[in-house]
Amino acid sequence: MFQNNPLLEQLKKKLNQKTPRVEGIVKSTERGFGFLEIDAQKSYFIPPKNMKKVMHGDKISALLKMEKDREIVDPETLIEPFLKRFVGKIEKKNNQLFILPDYPFLKDSIVIFYPKNNYINLFETGDWVVANLVKHKLNGHSIFCAELIEKIVKKNDPLTPWWVTLSRYNLEKKAPLIEQKDFLLKDQFNRKDLTHLDFITIDNFNTKDIDDALFIKETNNGQFFLTVAIADPTSYIELGSKLDIAAYERGFTNYLPGFNIPMLPRELSENICSLIPNERRPVLACSIIIEKDGNILNTADFFLAWIISKEKLSYEDVSNWIEKKGLWTPSKRSIQKQILLLYKLCLSRIKWRTLNAVLFKDSLEYRFQFEEPGIIKNVVIEKRRIAHKIIEESMIIANVVGAKFLSRNLGFGIYNIHSGFDSSNAENAVSFLKNYNLKFNSKEIRTLKGFCNLRRVLNVLSNNYINNRIRRYQSFGDFSITPSPHFALGFSEYATWTSPIRKYSDIINHRLLKSIIKKESSIKPSEEFKFKISEQRRRNRIAERDISDWLYTLLLQKKEYQNRKFSAEIIDVSRSGIRAKIIENGANVFIPALFLHPIREELILNQEIGKVFINGNLHYKISDLIQITLFEIRLKTRSIIAKPDN
């Protein structure tokens, strides 16, 4: 008799309007209950029975209720699901397929919807797949349900870390497939013939996509005359062609542990365009005069040319020869002369940048070694040696003059920018520095000159803790289509054009530079493209990090790493514990608060200042070196738990 009663519906509506509602993000726990996080300070309890309606990470609206004198929430409306497109592992039970999402806080398998009867026979438990969530309990369904999009890889495949991670971030797994009939030189512009000059390249032993070659001479008054020659893929790639669109979509060559996935077809990037020795290649080149004190004269000349690289040198051989180590020597005197002059230029530029720009201290780099594809063997430390710095300084010179050339002639391009501090973080940085008797003002350090001065003072001070905290206040690097300073490098403008085989932003700058040389019209890059390459770079970096974390868990579970002590540097402090990096191999480990001190009330983990106090006394801080042992390797979540050796 009460069904469809309008008075009852009105009463329900009034009651609902009076019931308070809150919006937030669902956070699950190991024990079945959860919390609805409203903001950083406020959260509400979600009982286990109510958690069955939602997933960790869902953004929801919920009813706020009182239950046994405690405020709880009852999920009501789904605003945005945490799971949309996701990766996971197949589970087969009772002739039914399920998928377990590959996220640490999602513990329950999801039913897979499939329309074909024989679908189940295509999969085995442990296979990896991509799926879409198609049914959610808050949308009126009785179960969570997903549909499969694609199979990633079979269980126990050694390349699982790569294929799963690339699928997670929707990144390409192979080089572009473009027909070779498109790999023809389409730019018939008259080029300078520099094939007689002794251009050299310096790279890793195994580098195939060589995009920069150098030639240098010294004038009678001690100036350096440097010619930087950069591979010219835009002579083969027409704007708007299939090849151009494929490169645009990728944005970058994706460098991952063990191998890379190129932006361009390998036939182009590693052969036709690559500046391999003794092969005639078209280049975009720039001649630059640098004074003997390292100052760059504003007379750079850009032009198109042909070159022949006379020799491919390695970082290791060149560094050993300069440092008088090992048996390797340059093949002839002309090559020897090139190395020595480039070394001399490098030292002058390092000195100039130390006094006039920003020079960060070298950090350790790590490289994975493999027994065979996908089978991790070891991790080795790779220090940046003098040959790396020779190439780095030469490319910085080229990119500085490239930025100025674009600004002077066009006023736009793809610029790499870094804005230093925003106003509030500048104030925070100044307040922090006062604690160490370092007196700066926020207005000063927000200028390029003031920022550079601050960095030079901190370099002299050489305090890793202070350096770390100041960098926390700094902004992130970004792209801009108009000139803007790069505070972190210390330059008023900076635009890369030296890696067009590997970066689409450099292809754009090549086209702009060539339009100036040829006196043709130029197309200004769009804001949309700037955001696209920023996002693509972010996804590539996250993928590289995730694969590395996966490989570290596979490596450190081996017997030889059990019960071993490691030296590690504390890199972060959070409310739940501290993170540290093992110096020997670069692995990141987590040390839970319980392992720092058993009585939680006596332990303060101050995330803001990066310090840990026990009974009011400072025990740990970011940048400290501590001794640790591995406690647990969690392959499922690719995390490494460690204990400090007190």
Whether residue 311 is found in the same domain as residue 384: yes
Same domain for 277 and 306, yes or no, is yes
Q: Is residue 4 part of a domain?
A: no
Residues 105 and 193 both lie in one domain: no
Please, which residues have CB within 8 angstroms of residue 217's CB and are 6 or more apart in sequence? 224, 225, 341
Query: Catalytic positions, please?
Result: 203, 209, 211-212, 315, 502
Rounded to an integer, the average pLDDT of 388-404 is 98
Please indicate, yes or no, whether residues 502 and 638 belong to a single structural domain of this protein.
Answer: no
- What residues pair up with 89 in beta bridges, in sequence order? 100, 128
Q: 399: helix, coil or strand?
A: helix
Q: Whole-angstrom Cα distance, residue 335 to residue 329? A: 10
Give the pLDDT of residue 317. 97
Q: CATH code at 128?
A: 2.40.50.640
pLDDT of 94: 85
For residue 155, what pLDDT is reported?
A: 93
pLDDT of residue 4: 59
Asked if 221 and 284 count as a contact pair (C-beta separation under 8 A), the reply is no
Residue 522, classified by CB atoms within 10 Å of its CB into exposed (0-12), middle (13-18) or buried (19+), is middle
In this prediction, residues 95-99 reach a mean pLDDT of 90
Contacts of 14 (CB under 8 A, 6+ apart): none
Same domain assignment for residues 509 and 564: no
Dihedral class, residue 363 (left if φ above 0, else alpha if ψ from -120 to 50, else beta): beta
pLDDT of residue 115: 62
Q: How confident is the model at residue 195 (pLDDT cuts 50, 70, 90)?
A: very high
Is residue 552 scored above 90 in pLDDT?
A: yes
Is 480 inside any structural domain? no
Are 288 and 405 part of one and the same domain?
Answer: yes
Give mean pLDDT, residues 498-523.
Answer: 96
Average pLDDT over residues 482-507: 97
3-state secondary structure of 232: coil
pLDDT, tens digit (0-9, with 9 covering 90-100), for 507-517? 999 999 999 99
Q: Which candidate, 127, 133, 129, 136, places its Cα nearest to that of 85? A: 133
Which segment of 2-6, 91-95, 135-139, 181-185 scores lowest on mean pLDDT?
2-6
Give the per-residue pLDDT at 117: 57
Residues ≥6 apart with Cβ < 8 Å to 230:
211, 212, 283, 284, 285, 398, 497, 498, 500, 510
Domain boundary among the residues 80, 98, 127 is at 80
| Domain contains 262 | yes
Same domain, 138 and 49: no
pLDDT level of residue 69 (50, 70, 90 thresholds): confident
Any domain includes 162:
no
Is the model's pLDDT at 13 over the cut of 60? Answer: no
Single-letter residue type at 610? G
SS3 state at 374:
coil
Mean per-residue pLDDT of the chain: 93
For residue 312, the model assigns a pLDDT of 97
Question: Are residues 333 and 255 part of one domain?
Answer: yes
pLDDT at residue 403 is higher than 80? yes
Q: What is the mean pLDDT of residues 522-531?
A: 94
pLDDT-derived band at 9 (thresholds 50, 70, 90) equals low
pLDDT of the residue at 438: 95
Predicted local confidence at residue 40, as pLDDT: 76
- Per the structure, the count of domains in the chain is 5
pLDDT for position 182 = 74
Beta-carbon count within 10 A of 355 CB: 12
How would DSSP label each residue in 118-140?
Answer: GGGGG--TT-EEEEEEEE-GGGT
Tens-place pLDDT, residues 296-307? 999 999 999 999
Backbone angles phi, psi at 199, to 5 degrees: -70, 140
| 213, burial (CB in 10 Å: exposed 0-12, middle 13-18, buried 19+) | buried
Task: Mark whether 141 and 74 lie in a shared domain.
Answer: no
Q: How high is the pLDDT of residue 8?
A: 55
Distance of CA 524 to the CA centre of its chain: 27
Closest among 163, 38, 25, 49 to 102, alpha carbons compared: 163
Q: Rounded CA gap, 281 and 497, in Å? A: 17
What is the Cα–Cα distance from 400 to 315, expressed in whole angstroms? Answer: 23
117 phi and psi angles, rounded to 5 deg: -65, -35
Q: Give the per-residue pLDDT at 17.
A: 56
From the number of C-beta atoms within 10 Å of its C-beta (0-12, 13-18, 19+), residue 540 rates as buried
Report, as an integer, the average pLDDT of 16-35.
85
Q: Clarify whether residues 343 and 273 are in a common domain.
A: yes
| pLDDT surpasses 80 at 7 | no
What is the phi/psi pair of residue 81, to 5°? -75, 145
* Inside any domain, residue 552: no
Which is it for strands 96-101 and 85-93: parallel, antiparallel or unpaired? antiparallel
Out of 80, 96, 116, a domain closes at 80
Residue found by looking up tokens 């959070």 in the block: 574
Domain edge (last residue) among 142, 157, 172: 157
* pLDDT tier at 5, thresholds 50, 70, 90: low
Amino acid at 252: F
Confidence band of 32 (pLDDT split at 50, 70, 90) = confident
State how beta strands 565-574 and 577-582 pair: antiparallel
Residue 6 lies in a domain: no
Q: Is 68 helix (H, G, I), strand (E, B) or coil?
A: coil
**Per-residue confidence at 1, pLDDT binned at 50, 70, 90?**
very low
Spatial distance between the Cα atoms of 92 and 519, rounded to a whole number of angstroms = 65
**407 in a domain, yes or no?**
yes
Q: Which residue has the tokens 């926390």?
A: 472
For the cut 70, the answer to whether the pLDDT of residue 605 exceeds it is yes
CATH of residue 570's domain is 2.40.50.140
Domain shared by 594 and 614, yes or no: yes
Read off the pLDDT of each residue in 406-430 and give the average, rounded to a whole number: 96
**Domain encompassing residue 112:** 85-157
As to burial, measured by CB atoms within 10 angstroms (0-12 exposed, 13-18 middle, 19+ buried), residue 21 is middle
**Predicted structure pTM score:** 0.91
Q: Is the same domain home to 505 and 570? A: no
- pLDDT tens per residue across span 210-234: 999 999 999 989 999 999 999 999 9
Task: Judge whether residue 37 has pLDDT over 80.
Answer: yes
Q: In percent, how much of the chain has pLDDT > 90? A: 86
**CB count, 10 Å around CB of 280?**
10
Residue 243 inside a domain? The answer is: yes
- What is the DSSP-derived secondary structure letter of residue 252? B
Average pLDDT rounded to a whole number, residues 131-158 = 94
DSSP state of 603: E
* Contact yes or no for 527/241 (Cβ under 8 A): no
Q: Return the pLDDT at 360.
A: 80
